[in-house]
């Protein structure tokens, strides 16, 4: 019996008896029970009622390729789309995938066992209506032509969110998706290939959906989730994924032409730090100043006592001064 079939039965949030599930899947009640107990490992809370059966209270709105593709405008530029229940990391999967020129590979998962964040951190990835998405694309102009791509990705994400009625978040340099100082999501770009020739870029996006308490305690920074921003209304994740893929495909298809320069104004419109006092940590050094947007390459600009200073990626981190 496969896990996906079992979850599809339970997705309606109604009670189903062990006998009924066994009959539908062609397995014994004992086999059903073993599989049901495995759902806890995914972080799903299964409710059992004597003489009635089992349910996942609230049901599940599972990701489904057949509901994603038809909603896309650029589906013809998307090669393979994998929709997975559980994976180590969607970025890892995308890095290992084959990508054909002019066609994206993409995968989304319901949960990740080893979700990766920036600066070697872990991305907490429970099975809880979140978005874990990676898209791979082959670029030919060398790695330097990808400067600012992660900032432009932040803009693409906000446009996709806006299309689903979530228009309140902003961007915290370089590409955190934030609302009211709390992190909603992030971007991790990983590259493989040649410095000056063909290279594959994997754009990984994580957006908190409806974080369960157990996972929330694992996150050591202020966070928020889509459920909170949507005022507890449910989000159509398949529609959101379709829009994210469209925005990303539009981004990667054209990026080699003008790079970040054409995205800068849009990024500045979403800048959540503009005018705030910040300290930028660069190794042991701490530079204090006022955030003044980004330059045409995506570097952070800081007004300091010594004039405007710019900071590229790397280990720069920002903390508002209290």
Binding site for ligand BTN (CB under 6 A): 89-91, 112, 115-118, 121, 123, 132-134, 176, 186-188, 204-206
d(C-alpha 46, C-alpha 74), whole Å: 38
Query: What minimum distance in Å lies between the beta carbon of 197 and ligand BTN?
Result: 25
Query: What minimum distance in Å lies between the beta carbon of 140 and ligand BTN?
Result: 24
Query: What minimum distance in Å lies between the beta carbon of 123 and ligand BTN?
Result: 4
User: Within a 10 A sphere around the Cβ of 71, how many other Cβ atoms?
Assistant: 16
Q: Which of 322, 278, 268, 281 is nearest to 302 (CA)?
A: 278
Helix axes 237-258, 149-163, angle to 10 degrees: 140
d(C-alpha 76, C-alpha 93), whole Å: 21
**Helix, strand or coil, per DSSP, at residue 55:** strand
**Which is it for strands 131-139 and 307-311: parallel, antiparallel or unpaired?**
unpaired
With a CB cutoff of 8 Å and minimum separation 6, the contacts of 179 are 168, 169, 170, 224, 229
Q: Which is nearer to ligand BTN, 110 or 138 (CB)?
A: 110
Cis peptide before 174 (omega within 30 of 0): yes
Q: How many residues does the chain have?
A: 322
Helices within 138-186 (DSSP H only): 149-163
Query: What minimum distance in Å lies between the beta carbon of 204 and ligand BTN?
Result: 3
What would the DSSP string read from start to end of 213-228?
Answer: HHHHTT--S-B--HHH
Query: What minimum distance in Å lies between the beta carbon of 64 and ligand BTN?
Result: 18
**Helix, strand or coil, per DSSP, at residue 160:** helix
Q: Which is nearer to ligand BTN, 36 or 131 (CB)?
A: 131
Residue facing ligand BTN at closest CB distance = 186
Query: What minimum distance in Å lies between the beta carbon of 49 and ligand BTN?
Result: 35
Q: Which is nearer to ligand BTN, 61 or 190 (CB)?
A: 190
Q: Which is nearer to ligand BTN, 188 or 241 (CB)?
A: 188
Q: Which is nearer to ligand BTN, 56 or 124 (CB)?
A: 124
Query: What minimum distance in Å lies between the beta carbon of 174 and ligand BTN?
Result: 9
Q: Which is nearer to ligand BTN, 53 or 126 (CB)?
A: 126
Q: Which is nearer to ligand BTN, 53 or 185 (CB)?
A: 185
DSSP classification of residue 61: -
Q: Which is nearer to ligand BTN, 59 or 181 (CB)?
A: 181
d(C-alpha 162, C-alpha 69), whole Å: 19
Query: What minimum distance in Å lies between the beta carbon of 96 and ligand BTN?
Result: 13
């Amino acid at each position: 019996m496969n896990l996906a079939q079992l979850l599809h039965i339970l997705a309606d949030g109604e009670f189903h008896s062990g006998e009924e599930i066994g009959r539908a899947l062609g397995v014994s009640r004992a086999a059903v029970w073993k599989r049901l107990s495995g759902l806890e490992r995914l972080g799903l809370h299964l409710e059992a009622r004597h003489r009635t059966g089992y349910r996942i209270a609230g049901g599940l709105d599972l990701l489904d390729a057949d509901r994603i593709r038809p909603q896309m405008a650029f589906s013809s530029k998307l090669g393979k789309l994998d929709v997975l229940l559980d994976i180590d990391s969607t970025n890892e999967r995308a890095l290992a995938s084959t990508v054909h020129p002019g066609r994206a590979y993409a995968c989304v998962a319901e949960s990740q066992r080893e979700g990766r964040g920036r600066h070697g951190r872990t991305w907490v990835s429970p099975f809880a209506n979140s978005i874990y998405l990676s898209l791979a694309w082959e670029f030919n102009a060398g790695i330097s032509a990808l400067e600012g791509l992660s900032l432009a990705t932040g803009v693409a994400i906000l446009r996709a969110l806006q299309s689903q009625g979530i228009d309140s978040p902003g961007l915290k340099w370089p590409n955190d998706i934030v609302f009211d100082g709390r992190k909603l999501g992030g971007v991790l770009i990983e590259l493989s290939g040649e410095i000056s020739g063909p290279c594959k870029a994997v754009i990984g996006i994580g957006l908190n959906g409806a974080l369960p308490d157990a996972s929330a305690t694992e996150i050591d920074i202020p966070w928020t989730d889509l459920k909170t921003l949507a005022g507890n209304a449910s989000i159509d994740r398949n529609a959101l994924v379709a829009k994210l893929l469209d925005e990303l495909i539009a981004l990667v298809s054209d990026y080699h032409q003008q790079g970040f320069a054409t995205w800068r104004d849009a990024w500045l419109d979403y800048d959540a730090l503009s005018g705030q006092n910040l300290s930028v940590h660069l190794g042991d050094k701490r530079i204090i100043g006022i955030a003044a947007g980004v330059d045409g390459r995506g570097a952070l600009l800081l007004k300091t006592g010594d004039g405007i200073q710019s900071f590229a990626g790397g280990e720069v981190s920002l903390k508002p001064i209290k």
